[in-house]
Amino acid sequence: MARPFTFYEFFAGGGMARIGLGAGWSCAFANDFDPVKAQTYRANFTDAADHFHEGDVWKLSAADLPSRADLAWASSPCQDFSLAGGRAGLQGGRSSAFFGFWRLMEALDDAGRAPRLIVVENVVGLLTSHGGADFAALGAALAARGYRFGALEIDAASLLPQSRPRVFVVAAREVPAGLTGDSPFHTRAVKSAHAALPAEAAARWVWWSLAAPPARNTDLAALLEPDAAAAWHSPDETARLVDLMGPLHRARLAAVSGRAVGAVFRRTRIEDGRPVQRAEVRFDGLAGCLRTPRGGSSRQSIVVVEDGRVRSRLLSPREAARLMGLPDGYALPRTATGALHVAGDGVAVPVVRWLAGELLEPLLSPAAVLAAE
């Protein structure tokens, strides 16, 4: 039996990248600063005591990282890249944690232990933050250490009933034949980010070939608890939610015949020059992108319309975990806020598995290395 591939997982959260990589991979080191996420990681992985480190990435050194890993995975904090945030970019307080990770990669490289692959996962805003300057800085850092790199924009909706676009920057020391070419994940944003790279970084660019997965065969309704087991809003609470909808979204409710299950987000829109809170409903079989809870408006709701009757409720923590591709046996924090924080701040498990099976593992296979040489 072939040895498992080894990896380091930085900003590991509840270990969703590890679950997505699967049984063919062995975690040599994992790290997260958040105590709730750290506790969740330990609750789900019996070997956590052997390799998990809770604490600030800036306080780690290369000596803390064992041996040499095939892959370093970094789902660095995304708040400063979020299109919904202030867009502070790589210099932002949270996303500057990336540089804490990157100095470790530089130290490993200096010691002859650089990972063969690096994956940086983040929100799509990484491609455009500061007019593309942040993405260019990331590319320049990778190129300076001998990596070839490319980006893929993958929406989890390809594999799960959740709209969750994310960017995966894949960097490799060897680029074998057969793994480059066209991909549906070379979106307009990816192409624009590539076009804005300085010449030195652009020379190290790779158009990774990653095919689209088979068509998704499940929808939001299939992942929800039975109606009888759910905690529904009162009629007055549902009426208040409907009152927040504009004409278009009320029309969507009215157009339902039979039974339909939808997802509802509350958002702030500018109307007549002033901010107005609105509820927006979708009946396309997808949940909206899960977010970390920072109050009631950030928590997604479910609406069920049946024979003209409208009911609503909050999405449960377990349902949120299913929307991330986590099994029902995955141990969530006991509080709803903690569980939604772990789920909403994670990486979609099936996306990681697809990326690993279609690109990362072929890049690391002995045949690929021989081809590159």
Sheet holding 5-10, edge to edge: 52-54, 25-32, 5-10, 71-74, 117-123, 165-172, 148-155
Domain boundaries defined on the chain = 5-213+347-372, 226-315
Q: Is 289 noted as a catalytic residue in this protein?
A: no
Quick one: average pLDDT of 359-369?
80
User: Tell me: the pLDDT tens digits for 215-263?
Assistant: 999 999 999 999 999 999 999 999 999 999 999 999 999 999 999 999 9
CA torsion 17-79-109-201 (nearest 10°) is 110
Q: What would the CATH number be for the domain defined by 5-213+347-372?
A: 3.40.50.150
* pTM of the predicted structure, to 2 decimals: 0.92
The lowest-confidence range among 35-44, 95-104, 248-257, 357-366 is 95-104
Confirm if 311 and 259 have CB atoms less than 8 A apart.
no
Task: For residue 30, count other CB atoms closer than 10 A to its CB.
Answer: 25
Give the model's confidence band at 1: pLDDT under 50 very low, under 70 low, under 90 confident, else very high.
Answer: very low
- Residue 223: per-residue pLDDT: 97
Neighbours of 224 (CB within 10 A): 22
Per-residue pLDDT tens digits for 123-170: 999 999 888 888 998 999 999 999 999 999 999 999 999 999 999 999
At 358, the pLDDT band (50, 70, 90 cuts) reads: very high
In the prediction, which pLDDT does 272 show?
86
DSSP characters over 111-178? TT---SEEEEEEEGGGGTGGGGHHHHHHHHHHHHTT-EEEEEEEEGGGTSSB--EEEEEEEES---TT
Choosing from 78, 117, 118, 126, which is the catalytic residue?
A: 78
pLDDT of 271 above 90: no
**How far is the CA of 153 from the CAs of 5, 17, 99, 175, 309, in angstroms?**
24, 17, 22, 20, 39
3-state secondary structure of 53: strand
Count of residues for the chain? Answer: 373
C-alpha 236/C-alpha 187 separation (Å) is: 43
The answer to whether residue 369 scores a pLDDT higher than 60 is: no
Name the 3-class secondary structure at 240.
helix
